[in-house]
Amino acid sequence: MVRAVKPTRKRDGRAGPPEGYPKDPEKYADPANWKYPVHTPFHARAARRYFNKEGNRAKYSPEEQAFIDKRINEALEKFGVAVQVKGGEITEEAGTIQADVPINKDIDAMSLDELLGVLLGTNRLASAEGISPSLVSVDKATATLLSGTVKAYSVRIDTQEKRIEHDCVDFRTNRAKARLFCKHLGAFLLQIDHAQAVRLLRELLRERDHWTFE
């Protein structure tokens, strides 16, 4: 692994923060040049997309690239955005996640609705809230295992193994590979103990890349 070294000033670097952007250099993955701002989930994701482009990476030494990659990944993790998709390949999340999940908070400051909003997006969160509690059954709820059903689908969340299993089409074909929730998982989390749901979602978002969704 290449040692991470803070980038030096570049010829095409900026002398200061762009208008409307943070004045704290620590909010940039490349602080010396005020580039790749990572102060919101939206910007962190954009930074990841731009910095994945070969032409942009080539402006930096391998050590500087490692520094910028680390900063971007730390920001993505802080905001609960998955860094990688299944298989270890770096995600192009733009097509999968709504560009503007309206959350700029740290995970520890998020409410249950906000936590679910990150994993569901606005439309699916509304759908999850629209599922009648009578269609949700929580069969098992221990400190490490939650299981039950939502409509005809099964839900199993194992916090020890860090594994979520669910069998609807939306989850299997779209959501699982980006480690996101479908409306059923949202509805399930809304029916379990509130404090446990918050704890689980915070843990999940913090360690998203270590969880298996399938």
Tell me the closest approach of the beta carbon of residue 187 to Zn ion, in angstroms. 9
Q: Are 37 and 28 in contact, with CB atoms under 8 Å apart?
A: yes
Which residue is it, tokens 């609960």?
A: 80
The smaller minimum CB distance to Zn ion, of residues 56 and 149, is found at: 149
182: contact with Zn ion by CB under 5 A: yes
Residues 63-92 vs Zn ion: string with x where CB under 5 A?
A: ------------------------------
Which residue is it, tokens 């221990």?
A: 142
Residues 126-165 vs Zn ion: string with x where CB under 5 A?
A: ----------------------------------------
188: contact with Zn ion by CB under 5 A: no
- Interface residue with Zn ion among 184, 187, 204, 211 (CB under 5 A) is 184
Q: Tokens at residue 54, please?
A: 């070969």
Distance CA 214, CA 209 (A): 13
Backbone angles phi, psi at 212, to 5 degrees: -105, 130
Tell me the closest approach of the beta carbon of residue 157 to Zn ion, in angstroms. 13
110: contact with Zn ion by CB under 5 A: no
Enclosing H/E stretch for 146: strand 145-150
> Residue 140's beta-bridge partner residues?
147
171: contact with Zn ion by CB under 5 A: yes
Tell me the closest approach of the beta carbon of residue 170 to Zn ion, in angstroms. 5
Task: Using alpha carbons, select from 147, 150, 148, 120 the residue that is nearest to residue 136.
Answer: 150
Enclosing H/E stretch for 70: helix 62-78
36: contact with Zn ion by CB under 5 A: no
Binding site for Zn ion (CB under 5 A): 168, 171, 182, 184
